[in-house]
Amino acid sequence: MTSALALLGGPKSIDRPLELFQAMGEDEVEAAARVVRSGVLSAFIGAPGEFFLGGPEVRAFEAKAADYFGVKHAISVNSWTSGLICAIGAVGIAPGDEIITTPWTMSATAMAILHWNAIPVFADIDPVTFNIDPASVERCIGPKTKAIMAVDIFGQSADMVELRQIAERHNLALLSDTAQGPGAKVGNRFAGTVADIGGFSLNYHKHIHCGEGGVLVTDNDRLAERMQLLRNHAESVLKSDDPAEYVNMIGYNFRMGEIEAAIAALQLDKLKARVESRQRAARQLDEGLAGLEGLTTPQTTDGATHVYYVYGMKLDTEKLGVTREQLVAALQAEGVPGLFAGYQNLHLLPIFQHRIAYGPDHFPWSLASREIAYGPGTCPVAEELHTRSFMGLNLCMCEYPPEDVAAVITAFRKVWSGLGELRLR
Ligand SMILES: *Cc1c(COP(=O)(O)O)cnc(C)c1O
């Protein structure tokens, strides 16, 4: 005999707050104190010379990250949004160029494209992995397409083998937003490192963090240098007789502070264990939620590991006879934390509907040689998932020891056994 659903006045299934995730330890406290005591909170100088590449903590973190991820260059930045802007600028995108990306991502992925006066073109996503669909990418290619920006959404690599082949066939740069997937593998490499440029967010909500921050990774010396320039006032440092070298070298201050770098270096040591604990929680959920009618748990792809920034589920609401919103409300009422309905449909944002970015005259779309579609129906898979069938569980919000995962599973099972009550409402 199960009790009434909490949504309908019954007792909550999870009647205690689950332990929230704490990313910081005493070692981070000591590292921050050490930097503060040194008095040097940033050593960057936006001019040629020894400190153009930052101070000791920044350089140590970058060396450690390059080694960890197995790349030639790791370049720290003050946010991953800044990192995306550096990556796009470095590959030489020109105003009016098009970059193909996914609408199922955080807005910064697409805004970084607009920041170079380039035009985001949204390909649809795969209904199983939620990653950008290579076949749709191919259909989006036009004469002005210059790059593909893949996103390893929720912590699982996009299909980089297919995307690389498309990029080579059409002479496109391949970039990767792996903000949510540090530690994920694709083949024997880390996700993010198989693109021309990739990288990770270090903001508070991600697997590892230093408050705000990001790190770019690449094996390409020239791209690395261009990103270092963009990060730190390129125009006041760059000296070349070749005009081509000045393309996009309008610099920013995207420099990471020394405290953040010291913390980020320690967080890197914790990445493997942290990701493994989320994979354990996901496996427990997979087993505990198996067999619930109309619920599909995350699907993994061959040759890639998933680090479960989000545990992404799909609902067959026709089979269930209730709406997703009813179900989410019922689960939340039982005390399941970090649950959300839908994710992102960036192409439908007002900025794209109005095509208003820089000034009132539709720049950069005014440079386009063709009509770029952003209306409803442009990305039917992403739209269906967003409006009807997708439900995500934020696995980075809580610690999730096995007993807490078990409590979440019990709450799900209670709601499923109470579906009849919900349907009657
Ligand atoms: C978090 C995130 C970003 C932005 O990272 P910040 O460090 O917050 O600037 C970009 N893309 C994706 C997919 C993200 O999840």
Ligand 1 binding pocket includes 415 (Cβ within 6 Å) = no
For residues 315 and 416, the answer to whether their CB atoms sit within 8 Å is no
The per-residue pLDDT for 424 is: 80
Pocket flag, ligand 1, residue 382 (CB < 6 Å): no
Does the C-beta of 108 come closer than 6 Å to ligand 1?
yes
CA distances from 373 to 119, 316, 355, 400 (A): 11, 29, 11, 42
Relative to the CA of 309, which ligand 1 atom is closest? 15
Residue 148 Cα to ligand 1 middle (Å): 17
Ligand 1: which atom is nearest the Cα of residue 214? 7
- Going along the chain from its start, the domains and CATH numbers come out as 26-267 (3.40.640.10)
Q: Is the CB of 103 under 6 A from ligand 1?
A: no
pLDDT in tens, the chain (425 residues): 467 999 999 999 999 999 999 999 999 999 999 999 999 999 999 999 999 999 999 999 999 999 999 999 999 999 999 999 999 999 999 999 999 999 999 999 999 999 999 999 999 999 999 999 999 999 999 999 999 999 999 999 999 999 999 999 999 999 999 999 999 999 999 999 999 999 999 999 999 999 999 999 999 999 999 999 999 999 999 999 999 999 999 999 999 999 999 999 999 999 999 999 999 999 999 999 999 999 999 999 988 999 999 999 999 999 999 999 999 999 999 999 999 999 999 999 999 999 999 999 999 999 998 999 999 999 999 999 999 999 999 999 999 999 999 999 999 999 999 999 998 87
- In this predicted structure, what is the pLDDT of residue 425? 72
C-beta 86 within 6 A of ligand 1: no
Contact 330, 420 (CB under 8 A): no
Our answer on whether the CB atom of 203 is closer than 6 Å to any ligand 1 atom is yes
Contact 371, 144 (CB under 8 A): no
Mutate to test the pocket of ligand 1, among 132, 177, 210 (most ligand atoms within 8 A of CB): 177
Place of tokens 């779309």: 365
Q: Quick one: pLDDT at residue 2?
A: 63
Residue 254 DSSP SS3: coil
Q: Give the containing element (helix H, strand E) for 44.
A: none
Quote the CA–CA distance of 66 and 64 in Å, as a whole number.
6
Give the model's pLDDT for residue 1. 47
Measured CA distances, 413 to 123, 284, 292, 326, 419 (Å) = 36, 14, 8, 15, 10
Q: How far is the CA of 179 from the centre of ligand 1 (A)?
A: 5
Backbone angles phi, psi at 194, to 5 degrees: -95, -5
